[in-house]
Each structure stands twice: as structure tokens, then as C-alpha cells.
Copies of this chain bind each other. A is one copy, B any other.
Amino acid sequence: MMEAAPLISHFETYLPFTEEEIALINNRIHRKRIKRREYLMRAGDICRHYTFVIEGVLRMFGIDEQGREHNILFAAEGDWIADISSFHSTRPGFSNIQALEPSEIIQIEQDDLYYLFINIPKLDRVFKVVTEDKYVELQDRIFQDISSTGLERYLYFLEKYPKLGSRLPNTQIASYLGITPEFLSMIRKELVSGK
């Protein structure tokens, strides 16, 4: 069993865990490395894992009727990523999950996660809080999407995720913002000259 320390530290930012609880968790997780561009899930698959990112960046994206990809979220160090709906229903999902950098992750399968929820009720609390935090982030983003221009959304993104702003290709950022790479390029040009 590889080191699960990053996941335990993550949990312990919310609540303390005993040695026995940590041992239980250790027995139910899988740590692995994945390559750039590798897929953890494709649209139509059933999402079999909750994935925690130790190192690297992943994206979740959907594909519209015209075949275009649209980034729904990025997950970097300390983030969780999963097609929650597919994971809990054990039915095919609409999301794709792919690594944008060579990454190191910890995965938990459905059975194992449910086993942990039953045996460590505290984990319900932890996942409740984690999900609430992510929910608030999505609400903020929706407010941006319905109230702001592409420029404003780009500035908000840079402010909120400064590291991702420099780590990710602009095509990926444009896809996340809901604009074309060409238009993002225009925005960036005006930011440099006009400021």
C-alpha cells in the first residue's frame, strides 16, 4: 500500500481521525499515477471512483450536440473529482474526466466509500462540508456566467485560481469560461496593451 498521507491530511483539516480509522481508510483506497491526456472516464461510462488529486490537474468536460468540448471544472492538488450522479446511481454518465498534466491521485471505489461512510460516520460530515464548499463555488460561477462579459469572467478566474491561470493552456481556460480561444486571445491582447 502506497502512502495515503495526503488524503488523511485532507480529512484532518476538517476533523481528527483515530489510528484505527486511518487504517480502515488505508485499506480501501488506491493510489496511482496517470499520464497527461489519460482518461479516468468517458461519457457513457459508469463513474466507478471518487478521485482525490495529490499532484497535477484534471478536468471534467461535457460534449455538446455539435461535438464541442466544454470544461465543467478543473481539479488540482487537494480537490476531488467524480461524476457524482453516475457514481451514486451506477448508471452511465455524461462527463469525461481527463488529466491535463501527469498526475498522482487516490481513488476510492463505490463499495469502499459506502463501507467507510457506514463505519466512520464522521466521513459523512467531512464530505458534506466539502460538497457544500464546492456548491458555493459553483453558485459564484453561475452568477458570473449570467451577469458578466468574457473579460470579467476571465479576470475573476485569474483572481480565484492564479496558479491555474499560468499552468493551463488558454484553450482549456477558454473552454471553462464559455468563450472561444480566439476571443480569449483578443481579451488578453487588450489586457496587455490597454493596461
Q: Choose from B72, B85, B124, B146 the contact partner of A128 (Cβ within 8 Å).
A: B124
- Complex CA gap A134/B125 in Å reads 17
Contact between chains at B143 and A142 (CB < 8 Å): no
Interface string of A166-177 (1 = CB under 8 A from B): 000000000111
Please classify the interface of chain A as helix (H, G, I), strand (E, B), loop, or mixed, using the class held by over half of its residues: helix
Min distance, Cβ A16 to any Cβ of chain B, angstroms = 15
Q: Which of A108-150 contact B (CB under 8 A)?
A: 117, 121, 124-125, 127-128, 131-132, 134-136, 138-139, 141-143, 145-148
Check A68 for interface membership: any CB of B closer than 8 A: yes
- Complex CA gap A84/B133 in Å reads 9
Interface size, chain A (Cβ < 8 Å): 34
Contact between chains at A145 and B145 (CB < 8 Å): yes
Min distance, Cβ A73 to any Cβ of chain B, angstroms = 8
Q: Choose from B88, B145, B177 the contact partner of A132 (Cβ within 8 Å).
A: B88
In the assembled complex, which residues on chain B have CB atoms less than 8 Å from the CB atom of A127? 128
Interface residues of A (CB under 8 A from B): 62, 64, 68, 70-73, 84-85, 88, 117, 121, 124-125, 127-128, 131-132, 134-136, 138-139, 141-143, 145-148, 175-178
